[in-house]
Amino acid sequence: MKLKKLALGSALVLGAALTSVSGIAADKVRLATEGAWAPFNFIDSAGKPQGFDVDVAWALCAKMKADCEVVTQDWDGLIPGLKVRKFDAIIASMSITEERLKVVDFTNKYYSGGLRFLGLKGEAFNIADLKGKVIGAQRATLGAQYLEDNFADLATLKFYDNQDNVYLDLVAGRLDVVLSDELPTFDWLKTSGNGDKFEFKGDAFLKEDNIAIAVRKGDKLKDKLNKALDEILADGTYQKINAKYFPFSIY
Amino acid sequence: MDFSVIVEYFPRLMQGTWVSLQLIFLSVVLGGIFALPIALARISKNPLISGLPFAYIFFFRGTPLLVQIFLVYYGASQFEVVRESFLWPILREPFWCAIIAFTLNTSAYTAEIFRGAIQAIPVGEVEACKVVGMTKVQMYRRILLPRAFGIVLPAYGNEIILMLKGSALASTITILDLTGMARTIIARTYTPIEIFLAAGAIYLVISMVVIAIFKQVEKRQNRYLGPNPVKLPDDV
């Protein structure tokens, strides 16, 4: 008798859980960001995701008149999470790359990036001198891939779970140079208090790096997002968000 | 599912496996060496001797291994003093930071296992040692430690397997161990299921080898107990 009750109870709970899960999947648009890529996406002191990506996400949702939720997920779990429908889109400063296009679709770009080296102030820098140096980058980023393709046999490469840990090891002296996206590093130099010790090295490259929102292959959400993106670019909403974070246009 | 990526990246997974094996072997051996004196001090009835090992075991069993790794790797390097000390050549290497964290962690657990084993020896045997006039050192060397070694084996084998799985955390401090290598491969191929399945299978094989070795050692160490005295009837 007791067992029967228990079985019935757990069946009810399971049923409730299943309906609530499918309920979320049906009408809410879940947008995932990383939360460790200031000023594009970061977690504020109240534990909420903030930043350029998140502002753009909410602006797009307002245009789409959709019920949205912004969730956070570690960087290298973003694409796997999208594939298994834990969320419906990734708005996390993700570059469009050939490899990623094989597994997800991208909207039009919402800003463009570029890679740049970062190192100790005052040290001479030449890309040919990177032989034998220790270079750090965040795992599964454009920068990490560029290093693997071009420096795998020349230098010691170290890959980190998030950009904060890259900076920590640069400050600790374990890394000679860092390769990362220019814009967040611009912000780090300005706000972290390390701007007097470190500086950009060389010019930015791969400037044609287009940052866009990733959706599942064939998902109609892509067209809706593109339409909303055109709208916020046309009516000045985008420019307002841009000005909040950078004194120059990053589109 | 695309299993060709496993074949393509198998050599790199093997490189990672080799790093994992080095990490586990070194930290288990070093941890075992430290564990014995810690366990003996912990047993002492003198609180001045047993206090420090107690605090040590309490701390390392009571905090997550990930926190311990981060404290050694990112924590220590924040201090100018550490960065300028003679220890920096070691502490700047993620490999040695992992070895330090793993060794401290496993030695705390192993010390507790040793202590349990020594205290599990029947009082009668300890009394017998005293009656024949053995000194404390003789008693430990001849009777207690060899006896404890037999008792400790199943729990110790378990600890090594826990360490094997804990070693995956080395990937969080840039080490390309089996897990780190798998994650780096996935960053390029976006095939998490295939590559993690392969990595999981490799961990499983290593566990099986550890279990098999311990089974043999256990059999040999406890052979004085004779074959299983309880014989089950055939027709049940």
pLDDT in tens, B104-114: 999 999 999 99
Residue A120: closest CA among A181, A187, A174: A174
Domain of residue B47, CATH code: 1.10.3720.10
Any domain includes B80: yes
Check A173 against B189: CB less than 8 A apart.
no
Model confidence over A84-132: pLDDT tens digits? 999 999 999 999 998 899 999 999 999 998 999 999 998 888 888 899 9
Any domain includes B231: no
Check A173 against B77: CB less than 8 A apart.
yes
Inter-residue contact A2 to A150 (CB < 8 Å): no
Check B189 against A79: CB less than 8 A apart.
no
Task: Spell out the residues 6+ positions from residue A182 whose beta carbon is closer than 8 angstroms to its own.
Answer: A113, A114, A115, A116, A200, A204
Burial class (CB in 10 A: 0-12, 13-18, 19+), A245: middle
- Report the distance separating Cα B155 and Cα B39, nearest Å: 15
Burial class (CB in 10 A: 0-12, 13-18, 19+), B116: middle
Q: Is the CB of residue B79 less than 8 Å away from at least one CB of chain A?
A: no
- DSSP secondary structure code for residue B27 in this structure: H
Model confidence over B142-186: pLDDT tens digits? 999 998 988 899 999 999 999 999 999 999 999 999 999 999 999
pLDDT confidence of A13, banded at 50, 70, 90?
A: low
The pLDDT of residue B161 is 96
Check A169 against B74: CB less than 8 A apart.
yes
Query: What is the largest distance, in Å, between two alpha-carbon atoms of chain A?
Result: 80
Best mutation target, A105, A141, A165, A174, to test chain B (most B CBs within 10 A): A174
Binding-face residues of B in 92-111 toward A, CB within 8 A: 92, 94
Candidates A76, A148, A159; nearest CB to B174: A159
- Report the distance separating Cα A3 and Cα A19, nearest Å: 24
Any domain includes B120: yes
Any domain includes B232: no
Q: Is the CB of residue A2 less than 8 Å away from at least one CB of chain B?
A: no
- Torsion, Cα B109 B112 B114 B119, to 10 degrees, reads -160
pLDDT confidence of A24, banded at 50, 70, 90?
A: very low
Any domain includes B134: yes
- Report the distance separating Cα A145 and Cα B104, nearest Å: 35
Check B184 against A169: CB less than 8 A apart.
no
Any domain includes B233: no
Candidates A79, A165, A172; nearest CB to B78: A172
Question: Which ipTM score applies to this complex?
Answer: 0.79
Check B174 against A160: CB less than 8 A apart.
yes
Give the Å distances, CA to CA, from A124 to A150, A202, B74: 21, 10, 27
- Report the distance separating Cα A55 and Cα B175, nearest Å: 35
Inter-residue contact B139 to B107 (CB < 8 Å): no
- Report the distance separating Cα B165 and Cα A123, nearest Å: 42
Domains present along chain A, CATH in parentheses: 21-113+209-245 (3.40.190.10), 115-205 (3.40.190.10)
List, in sequence order, every beta strand (DSSP E) within chain A. 28-33, 36-37, 41-43, 49-50, 67-72, 89-95, 104-112, 115-120, 134-138, 156-160, 177-181, 198-205, 210-216
